[in-house]
């Protein structure tokens, strides 16, 4: 094994791979080390700290997210971790949605959002240097360190004020209960059970107590039944044989209530706060009839779906007789020892301990109780999560998808791990690395013990087996720790049937969940970096080609209702749930990862498309302290209104949305490892500090409102090639000048235009990138089209819920540009009007109903403003005569256009698609018409 790189260099390599900041401390210079980049990379990225955003749409969008991050209470994100560990949560309220126990699927994804938030904070700190972000990172890492330590230890009592002194808190989400010794009922033929309880949530069927064998022989007292009132029941024949007593009113939450049950001589009575609220005079079952029972629990039910009681116990006593009504009433006002009843003779717990995990029994029988977790505890000291390890354990035996039971635990682990790695890289906090390394150790301990067939089954399960980008994160962890187990762990996530199919360029994506699978391939690229195994890179490259463009909408997004359909089906999948935002985030990451190995301009053409359209458009242009205001789906159906607060917040897409908005500059520039070339991929106002060459490069541009960019060189003199991306849409007029002199060459669309020279401070490069107004046709329905101005998709703002029918050839320029048929909207850049319909950039984060696609209708052959009066014929595939003519654009002169018209008309007349007389009329019309260049 080769000698390891320094720890610092490894940190930087991992940071660059993940597009997160390299180590940055106050006053520190740029932190980039090209030597640390994987040998497989043919270019390397720059750290976020090396690229400063200038004023423009990216900076404006980012500021909305930064402002949200500055003010958001980090303790809210940590609430679920602290609760799971049995730690105090204070007054913090979990963010809700997928992060709270009341969210979808009982919040079985909780913790993922905290990981996203950590990554966002790390990126924000690297980009801005603001200490507030580092302080929030430090607070979060400290709390997570405490939570892991608490999980490693036996649960300890959380003491809170009770009705007569201290009481024992059972935090919601802690999964803690009190385990009583087996003899607590003593085989009594008469009994009184009394407890002080303070519910903090209105869960149905949360048990105050449950003594039984399983779900056949038991007695229980529930704080709320299905009707919301207390219920006591005893049975030897399961639920159908219960002899029960129901209360009459719900117990209040966040207030102490005294509950008591007496059973004797065939009568059972339920008391609430000293008053009898229910009686059953046919209760023949007593503890003696139950015999020896397996469990005696306070706060826990034997039914897996029942919640653990959230609240506090202020006392619990058991008597071997039925107390009288006066005795029960007296218990409401004093401790049992200070009432006529005295302490319970079978058991008596005050719950006034302020530490430890044992509760003393004052009955004289020595039946000390123990505080336990329903799931026992972690299988490995590195375990860290916001829910029990049972989510991971259950996945190992699942054969079908059920996200209400198990919801993507390794996906959640990925987000936490990624956030910790990014936190460590940004602030050099060793606690974060220790937590991340521990998570890697724990996952390896779990997964390495499983048969290969089990792993393949797990990772093939929809939703439950989803693991996000964990392979990428684990590879980055391995780059830092050098632990062989961590690299071995990364390979344990191989989903062979998918990898092998894509490596063979066999498309099996139809019917798959898109976002479950896209990040798998980013991980495979990193695995290739670490292992050199070619099938990983080949699979990822082929997979990208299966999505772009055959499953891609005009905005760069993919998926419908989260799933893929057959390749080439675009129009047939458009609806309100197209283009899940996470998919765009992950496709950007994959495109970037592939570009590090092969500088195919198509990767950056896609990157620009998705970034300037879906990603920017997914963020609402509004500040909000509570929510990040990011879309989940961006519906492309006619008249769709974007939903910026999906599913009550904290979804996967809002998490990735936080990350998107704090790394807009991550792919503007790349450099060859030897410093011989600098790639400019995006025309974005920004300043690059290229430390290795001592060079700065400042882009000044209003792009996309400006059709070009000015790049000014600063720093030291240096020789290198400046490689400027020629966008695939830039079909005419792309040009470059250096210090005012034109650079010769033929800049073909979809290539890089290279300017190689010795650069000196003050050199100015001007890049002209004329926009054209053009359409893109849906692959499966050419009449369904999207309108683009340069890189920007323009949406029609209209409340109609049917596709708008528009004709665009009238007044088309000789270049093929459709712009002359539109008029600009004064004071609104990139806003155009066609008749009464206004078009606006997709990236504007508004709630206006919009149309990303329209129905193209060109009923008559029109050139310029002259209507030939001839119907526009079409072939069987939908291609019209005008389509055929204008596909030959650009035309250098009107004569060239007329020549194209004559040739096309002749072909169509010969094919019987157009009459000879109409053909002559069409040619004559073209000859009379006037055209702009």
In order, the DSSP letters of 123-145 are: HHHHHH--HHHHHHHHHHHHHHH
Q: Could you tell me if 758 and 893 lie in one domain?
A: no
Q: Could you tell me if 209 and 308 lie in one domain?
A: yes
Average pLDDT over residues 158-162: 97
Q: Report the CATH number that the domain containing residue 677 is assigned in CATH.
A: 2.60.40.1180
- Tell me: pLDDT of 185 over 90: yes
Q: Which residues contact 475 (CB under 8 A, 6 or more apart)?
A: 17, 487, 490, 523, 526, 527, 529, 530
Average pLDDT over residues 479-505: 98
Q: Could you tell me if 762 and 862 lie in one domain?
A: no
Q: Could you tell me if 217 and 320 lie in one domain?
A: yes
DSSP code, position 174: S
**Would you say residue 782 lies in a domain?**
no
Q: Could you tell me if 758 and 865 lie in one domain?
A: no
Pick the more confident residue, 648 or 122: 122
Please check whether residue 596 is in contact with residue 805, taking contact to mean a CB–CB distance below 8 angstroms: no
- Tell me: pLDDT of 32 over 60: no
Strand partners of residue 236? none
- Tell me: pLDDT of 13 over 80: no
Average pLDDT over residues 89-115: 92
Please check whether residue 498 is in contact with residue 508, taking contact to mean a CB–CB distance below 8 angstroms: yes
**Would you say residue 197 lies in a domain?**
yes
Q: Could you tell me if 762 and 887 lie in one domain?
A: no
- Tell me: pLDDT of 96 over 90: no
Residue 461: pLDDT band with limits 50, 70, 90: very high
**Would you say residue 340 lies in a domain?**
yes
Q: Which residues contact 263 (CB under 8 A, 6 or more apart)?
A: 190, 191, 192, 234, 283, 285, 286, 287, 322
Burial zone of 553 (CB within 10 Å; 0-12 exposed, 13-18 middle, 19+ buried): buried
pLDDT digits (tens, 9 = 90+) for 726-754: 999 999 899 999 999 999 999 999 999 99
Residue 328: pLDDT band with limits 50, 70, 90: very high
Instruction: Please give the pLDDT value at position 10.
Output: 44
- Tell me: pLDDT of 354 over 60: yes
Alpha-helical segments (H) within 87-194: 112-128, 131-152
Q: What angle do CA 272, 177, 156 make, to 5 degrees?
A: 120
Q: Could you tell me if 207 and 314 lie in one domain?
A: yes
3-class SS string, 530-576: HHCCHHHHHHHHHHHHHHCCCCCCCCCCCCECCECCCCCCCHHHCCC
Which range has the worst mean pLDDT, 11-15, 46-50, 411-415?
Answer: 11-15
Q: Could you tell me if 761 and 870 lie in one domain?
A: no
The tokens of 196 are what? Answer: 């002080």
**Would you say residue 216 lies in a domain?**
yes
CA distance 202 to 359: 26
**Would you say residue 297 lies in a domain?**
yes
Q: Could you tell me if 739 and 863 lie in one domain?
A: no
Pick the more confident residue, 23 or 250: 250
What is the percentage of the chain residues whose pLDDT exceeds 90?
Answer: 94
**Would you say residue 575 lies in a domain?**
no
- Radius of gyration in angstroms for the set of CA atoms belonging to the chain, rounded to a whole number: 34
Among 318, 351, 373, identify where a domain stops: 373
- Tell me: pLDDT of 146 over 90: yes
Domain that holds residue 873: 858-933
pLDDT digits (tens, 9 = 90+) for 357-378: 999 999 999 999 999 999 999 9
- Tell me: pLDDT of 857 over 70: yes
**Would you say residue 369 lies in a domain?**
yes
pLDDT digits (tens, 9 = 90+) for 631-652: 999 999 999 999 999 988 899 9
What is the percentage of the chain residues whose pLDDT exceeds 70?
Answer: 96
Residue 805 has a CB neighbour count (10 Å cut-off) of: 11
Residue 682 has a CB neighbour count (10 Å cut-off) of: 24
Residue 901 has a CB neighbour count (10 Å cut-off) of: 27
Among 354, 373, 392, identify where a domain stops: 373
- Give the residue from 253, 175, 250, 262 showing the smallest Cα distance to 219: 262
Which helix (H) or strand (E) segment is 11 a member of?
helix 7-17
Q: Could you tell me if 355 and 213 lie in one domain?
A: yes
In the chain, the number of structural domains is 3
**Would you say residue 791 lies in a domain?**
no
Burial 342-374 (b: 16+ CB within 10 A, else e): ebbbbbbbbbbbeeebebebbbebebebebbbb
Q: Could you tell me if 763 and 864 lie in one domain?
A: no
Strand partners of residue 641? none
Q: Which residues contact 297 (CB under 8 A, 6 or more apart)?
A: 177, 178, 179, 180, 207, 209, 210, 211
The tokens of 583 are what? Answer: 């998919």
Average pLDDT over residues 93-121: 93
Please check whether residue 656 is in contact with residue 116, taking contact to mean a CB–CB distance below 8 angstroms: yes
Q: Could you tell me if 218 and 366 lie in one domain?
A: yes
Among 353, 373, 393, identify where a domain stops: 373
Residue 16: pLDDT band with limits 50, 70, 90: low
Average pLDDT taken over every residue of the chain? 95
Instruction: Please give the pLDDT value at position 877.
Output: 87
CA distance 471 to 492: 9
Whether residue 890 is preceded by a cis peptide bond, meaning omega within 30 degrees of 0, is: yes
């Amino acid at each position: 094994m080769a000698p390891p790189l320094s720890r610092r260099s490894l940190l930087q390599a991992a940071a660059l791979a993940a597009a997160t900041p390299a180590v940055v401390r106050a006053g520190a210079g740029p932190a980039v080390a090209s030597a640390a980049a994987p040998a497989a990379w043919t270019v390397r990225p720059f750290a976020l700290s090396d690229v400063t955003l200038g004023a423009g749409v990216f900076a404006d969008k980012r500021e909305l997210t930064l402002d949200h991050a500055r003010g958001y209470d980090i303790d809210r994100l940590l609430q679920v971790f602290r609760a799971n560990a049995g730690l105090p949560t204070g007054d913090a309220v979990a963010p809700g949605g997928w992060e709270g126990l009341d969210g979808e699927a009982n919040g079985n994804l909780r913790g993922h959002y905290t990981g996203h938030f950590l990554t966002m904070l790390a990126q924000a700190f690297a980009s801005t240097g603001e200490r507030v972000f580092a302080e929030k990172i430090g607070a979060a890492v400290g709390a997570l360190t405490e939570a892991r330590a608490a999980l490693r230890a036996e649960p300890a009592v959380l003491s809170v004020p009770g009705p007569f002194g201290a009481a024992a808190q059972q935090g919601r989400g802690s999964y803690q209960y009190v385990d009583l010794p087996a003899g607590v009922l003593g085989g009594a033929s008469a009994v009184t059970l009394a407890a002080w309880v303070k519910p903090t949530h209105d869960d149905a069927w949360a048990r105050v107590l449950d003594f039984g064998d399983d779900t056949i022989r038991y007695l229980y007292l529930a704080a709320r039944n299905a009707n919301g009132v207390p219920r006591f029941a005893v049975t030897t024949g399961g639920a159908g044989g219960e002899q029960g007593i129901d209360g009459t009113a719900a117990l209040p939450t966040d207030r102490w209530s005294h509950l008591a049950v007496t059973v004797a001589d065939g009568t059972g009575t339920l008391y609430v706060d000293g008053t009898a609220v229910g009686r059953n005079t046919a209760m023949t079952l007593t503890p003696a009839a139950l015999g020896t029972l397996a469990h005696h629990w306070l706060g826990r039910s034997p039914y897996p779906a029942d919640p653990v009681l959230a609240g506090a116990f202020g006392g619990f006593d058991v008597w071997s007789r039925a107390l009288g009504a006066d005795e029960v009433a007296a218990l409401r006002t004093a401790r049992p020892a200070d009432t006529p009843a005295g302490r319970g003779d079978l058991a008596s717990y005050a719950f006034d301990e302020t530490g430890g995990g044992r509760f003393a029994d004052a009955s004289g029988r020595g039946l000390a109780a123990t505080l336990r977790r329903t799931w026992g505890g972690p299988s490995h000291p590195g375990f860290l999560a916001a829910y029990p390890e049972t989510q991971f354990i259950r996945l190992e035996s699942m054969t079908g998808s059920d996200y209400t039971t198990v919801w993507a635990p390794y996906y959640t682990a990925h987000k936490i791990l990624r956030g910790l790695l990014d936190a460590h890289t940004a602030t050099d906090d060793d606690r974060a690395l220790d937590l991340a390394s521990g998570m890697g150790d724990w996952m390896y301990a779990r997964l390495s013990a499983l048969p290969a067939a089990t792993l393949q089954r797990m990772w093939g399960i929809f939703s439950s087996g989803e693991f996000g980008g964990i392979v990428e994160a684990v590879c980055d962890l391995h780059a830092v720790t050098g632990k062989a187990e961590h690299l071995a762990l990364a390979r344990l996530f191989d989903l062979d049937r998918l990898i092998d199919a894509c490596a063979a360029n066999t498309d099996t994506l139809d019917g798959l969940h898109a976002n479950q699978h896209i990040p798998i391939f980013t991980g495979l690229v990193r695995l290739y970096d670490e292992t050199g195994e070619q099938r990983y890179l080949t699979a990822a490259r082929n997979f990208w080609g299966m999505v772009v463009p055959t499953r891609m909408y005009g905005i760069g997004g993919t998926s419908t209702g989260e799933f893929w359909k057959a390749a080439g089906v675009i129009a047939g999948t458009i609806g309100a749930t197209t283009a899940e935002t996470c998919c765009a985030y992950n496709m950007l990451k994959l495109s970037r990862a592939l570009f590090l190995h092969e500088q195919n301009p198509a990767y950056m053409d896609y990157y620009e498309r998705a970034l300037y359209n879906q990603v920017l458009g997914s963020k609402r242009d509004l500040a909000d302290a509570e929510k990040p205001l990011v879309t989940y789906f961006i519906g492309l159906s006619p008249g769709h209104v974007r939903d910026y607060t999906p599913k009550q917040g904290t979804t996967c897409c809002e998490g990735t949305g936080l990350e998107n908005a704090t790394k807009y500059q991550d792919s503007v520039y790349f450099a060859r490892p030897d410093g011989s070339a600098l790639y400019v991929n995006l025309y974005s106002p920004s300043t690059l500090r290229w430390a290795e060459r001592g060079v700065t490069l400042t882009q000044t541009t209003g792009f996309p409102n400006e059709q070009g960019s000015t790049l000014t060189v600063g720093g030291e003199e240096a020789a290198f090639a400046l490689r400027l991306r020629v966008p695939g849409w830039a079909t005419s007029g792309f040009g470059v000048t250096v210090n005012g002199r034109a650079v010769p060459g033929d800049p073909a669309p979809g290539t890089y235009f290279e300017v190689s020279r010795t650069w000196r401070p003050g050199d100015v490069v001007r890049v002209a990138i004329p926009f054209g107004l053009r359409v893109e046709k849906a692959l499966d329905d050419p009449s369904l089209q999207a309108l683009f101005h340069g890189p920007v998709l323009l949406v029609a703002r209209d409340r109609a819920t049917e596709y708008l029918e528009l004709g665009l050839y009238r007044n088309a320029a000789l270049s093929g540009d459709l712009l002359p048929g539109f008029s600009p909207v004064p004071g609104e850049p990139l806003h155009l009007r066609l008749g009464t319909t206004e078009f606006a950039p997709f990236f504007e984060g508004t709630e206006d109903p919009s149309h990303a696609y329209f129905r193209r209708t060109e009923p008559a052959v029109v050139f310029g403003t002259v209507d030939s009066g001839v119907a526009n014929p079409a072939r069987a595939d939908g291609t019209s005569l005008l389509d055929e003519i204008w596909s030959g654009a650009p035309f250098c002169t009107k004569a060239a256009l007329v020549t194209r018209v004559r040739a096309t008309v002749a072909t169509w007349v010969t094919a019987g698609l157009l009459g000879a007389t109409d053909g002559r009329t069409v040619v004559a019309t073209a000859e009379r018409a006037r055209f702009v260049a």
